[in-house]
Structure 1
Amino acid sequence: MDKNFIEACRGVVKSGRVLLDEPMSLHTTFKIGGPADCLIFPATMEETQQILKLVRDYHLPLTLLGNGSNLLVRDKGIRGVVVKFGEPMSYIRCEGTRIIAGAGALLKDVSECAAENQLTGLEYACGIPGSIGGAVFMNAGAYDGETKDVAALVRAVDGDGAVHVFSGDALELGYRHSVFQTNGEAICEVELQLQPGDGKAIRAKMDDFTQRRESKQPLDMPSAGSTFKRPAGYYAGTLIDQTGLKGLQVGGAQVSTKHAGFVVNAGNATADDVIRLIREVQRRVYEKHGVRLQPEVRMIGEE
C-alpha cells in the first residue's frame, strides 16, 4: 500500500480509523475473511468525498461496505482500499415524520428511533442485522416490509467525490437490488419517510417480529443472514429442509439445524468452507427439486 496514500488518508480521518492489513473477520457478521490492505472508517460525507478522491488519484481498487452482514469475504482478503460505513457515521435524527440517518446507522437503532417517535413503517427492520446504507444497497426486507417502502432520499458520493441525490425510481429498488449495485457510488445518508402511528401498536408489532425471529433463526451463531434468495414459488429454507440438509457441514460451515435457510459459522469456518457448502446445497436441491438456488450473500475478495 502506497505510504503517501496512507499519510494523505490520515490527514483526512483520524489515524485510528485507518487500519492496515486488517482481518475482515473482525468486521463481518460471519466472522470470516482475510485481511484488507487498507480499511477506512469515514465519519462524515465530507471525509468520504476526500477519501474517494484520494483513491481515484492513487488508482487503487475500492470496496464499499456497510455493517458487514449479508457478506462473505474470501480467505485471501481484499486488495486496495475498503471504505466501511460503521459507528463513526451512525448518526440518527428525527424531523417530523422523516428520519435522517448516516449510512453506518444500524437498522435496529433506526427502527428504535422510529418507535420512540411513534412513527410506523419501519417495524419490519427491528431485527435485520445490517446498516441503513446496506439496507438501501440490497433493498433489505422482512415480514412483508422492505426498504423500498420507506426510502425517500439517498445522498451518495461518486468516485470523483461529487455528491448525488437519488429518490423515487432513480433508486431502482427491486428484490435485493438497487442502483448502487451498478453505479458504484458510496451511500452516505438516507432519509426515510414514515407515518404517524400508535406507539403501543408499533411496539407490539416489533415485539412480535422479534419473537418470531428469535424462535426461528440461529441468532446465537455467526452468519450472513439468509444465505439464498427466495426462488419464485418456493422458500429456500423449506427446499433445503425437504432435501434433508439441516446440519450438513463442510469444515466449520454448517447448514443451521434451526433454520435451513442459514449457513452458519459453527467454529473457525473459512470462506472456502462456506462456498463449498453453498455449492453442495445448490447441487442437492437442484437434483431433488429441479430448482436452482441463487446466493443472496455477496462474495467479495481474493479466492
Structure 2
Amino acid sequence: MDNLLNELHGSDVGKVKEKEPLATHTTIKIGGPADIFVEPASVDNLVKTMNIIKNYDVPWKIIGRGSNLLVADEGIEGIVIKIGKGMDHLEINGSEVRVGGGYSFIVLANVLSRKGYSGLEFAGGIPGSVGGAVYMNAGAHGSDISKILKKARVLFPDGKVEWLSKEEMKYSYRTSVLQKERPGIVIEAVFELTPGNLEVISTEMKKHKSYRRETQPVKPCCGSVFRNPLPDHAGKLIQDADLKGFSIGGAQISELHGNFIVNNGNATANDVLSLIEHIKTTILERNGIQLHTEVEFL
C-alpha cells in the first residue's frame, strides 16, 4: 500500500490522503476511514489514477457527493476515489448541456431552470452529483434521467473511455447498465433539454422544493432508503406499519417520511443497518413484500 500511495503522490493526480474519515463525505455523516482517499483534479487525472491502481492488487470504490451511500463504521479497505472538484465543468450550447460527473445535480437544475430550460424541474431537490444521478437513473415527480440524457461518457476499470447512448445505458427504474452488466464511472454527461416558459419552469421548481421541505427531513440522511415496490410506495408501507419515528441507537426512521432514516447525531452504520433489517422484516411479515434498498452499503 505504501508503494501505491507514493506513486499516487508522485504522479500529482490531485488530492491524496491517508485514513480520510468518510463521514465527512457522506450526507448521512456516517463512515470510517478510507485507507487511501483520492480526489482527481481532472478527467485525465482520474484516468491516470485508474491506470496506476491497475498495477496493484487493491480494491477501489468511486463516490460522488455522498448521497444514497452508507459507509461501514470500520471504514473501507483500499482506495476511495471521489468525483468532485476538477470534474465539475459545465457547457451550455443551446438546449444541449455537457456537464462533468462531479457537478452538483441540484445546482445544475437551478442554473438551467433560471436560464429557461425545461426538463430538470424534477431534480430541484435531489442531492448528489450528476455522475451518480446518471449512474442510477435518479428521478422524482414522474420523471428521471432517462427522459433527458443524450449520452454519457464512461470510464471502465480497464482504462477504456466510451460514450454510451441513452439506449446503451439500458435504463429502468433507478437502474442502468453500469450497475451490473458493465461497471463503470460516469465522468460526464450530455443532456438534451427544451426551451420553456421561465415563469412556468420557476413555479414547477418551487412546487417540488416546497414538497421536499414539507415531507422530507433536514437532519443528516442518505436519501431514500428503499426502492419503491411499484405500484406500492416504500414510504407509505412503512408509515402504515406505524414505524415512523422508530429508532435503533442514533438512527431513526424519519417522522416526516417513512422512506428516510436520519442520523440524530451519534448514529453508526450498524444502527442504520439494524433499522433497515427491522423495516424489511416488518413489511415482509405484514404485507408479504420484500423491500430492496436503494442506498448502497460500502
- Normalising by structure 2, what TM-score? 0.96
Contact in 1 for aligned 2:114/2:202 (Cα 8 Å): no
Query: Corresponding residue for 1:148?
Result: 146
* Paired AA for residue 64 in structure 1: I
Per-residue CA shift, 1:12-45, capped at 9, x if unaligned?
3466x11111111110001011111111111221
Structure 2: tracts of 5 or more residues without a match: none
Query: Corresponding residue for 2:213?
Result: 214
Paired residues for 1:251-262 under 5 Å: 251-262=249-260
Aligned residue for 1:169, secondary structure, equals coil
Contact in 2 for aligned 1:99/1:114 (Cα 8 Å): no
Per-residue CA shift, 1:52-100, capped at 9, x if unaligned?
0101012221101111100111111111111111233212221111111
Distance of 1:293 and 1:277 partners within structure 2: 13
Contact in 1 for aligned 2:13/2:49 (Cα 8 Å): no
Paired residues for 1:57-136 under 5 Å: 57-136=55-134
* Paired AA for residue 3 in structure 1: D
Query: Corresponding residue for 1:277?
Result: 275
Distance of 1:275 and 1:22 partners within structure 2: 22
* Paired AA for residue 184 in structure 1: P
Query: Corresponding residue for 2:137?
Result: 139
* Paired AA for residue 78 in structure 1: I
Q: How far 1:184 moved relative to its partner?
A: 2.2
Q: How far 1:117 moved relative to its partner?
A: 2.3
Distance of 1:253 and 1:32 partners within structure 2: 11
Contact in 1 for aligned 2:67/2:128 (Cα 8 Å): yes
Contact in 2 for aligned 1:36/1:77 (Cα 8 Å): yes
Aligned residue for 1:127, secondary structure, equals coil
Paired residues for 1:215-234 under 5 Å: 215-218=214-217, 220-234=218-232
> Of the candidates 3, 17, 20, which is equivalent to residue 18 of structure 2?
20
Distance of 1:163 and 1:226 partners within structure 2: 31
* Paired AA for residue 212 in structure 1: Y
Q: How far 1:113 moved relative to its partner?
A: 2.2
Distance of 2:126 and 2:166 partners within structure 1: 23
Contact in 1 for aligned 2:13/2:41 (Cα 8 Å): no
Q: How far 1:166 moved relative to its partner?
A: 0.4
* Percent identity of equivalent pairs: 37
Per-residue CA shift, 1:179-238, capped at 9, x if unaligned?
1112222211111111111111111110110011101110x2011111111012211111
Aligned residue for 1:41, secondary structure, equals strand
Contact in 2 for aligned 1:111/1:123 (Cα 8 Å): yes
Distance of 1:13 and 1:277 partners within structure 2: 42
Contact in 2 for aligned 1:48/1:161 (Cα 8 Å): no
Distance of 2:255 and 2:264 partners within structure 1: 11
| Residue 186 (1) aligns with residue 174 (2) | no
Aligned residue for 2:167, secondary structure, equals helix
Q: How far 1:109 moved relative to its partner?
A: 1.2
Contact in 1 for aligned 2:153/2:163 (Cα 8 Å): yes
Aligned residue for 1:205, secondary structure, equals helix
Q: How far 1:290 moved relative to its partner?
A: 1.6
Distance of 1:264 and 1:285 partners within structure 2: 19
Query: Corresponding residue for 2:175?
Result: 177
Aligned residue for 2:19, secondary structure, equals strand
Distance of 2:9 and 2:186 partners within structure 1: 22
Distance of 1:168 and 1:141 partners within structure 2: 15
Per-residue CA shift, 1:268-290, capped at 9, x if unaligned?
10110000001011111222222
Q: CA, structure 1 residues 12+190, in 2 after alignment: closer, same or farther (shift >3 Å)? A: farther
Query: Corresponding residue for 2:194?
Result: 195
Aligned length: 297
* Paired AA for residue 142 in structure 1: A
Q: How far 1:105 moved relative to its partner?
A: 0.4
Distance of 2:41 and 2:186 partners within structure 1: 13
Over the residues paired in the alignment, what is the CA RMSD in angstroms? 1.2
Query: Corresponding residue for 1:204?
Result: 203
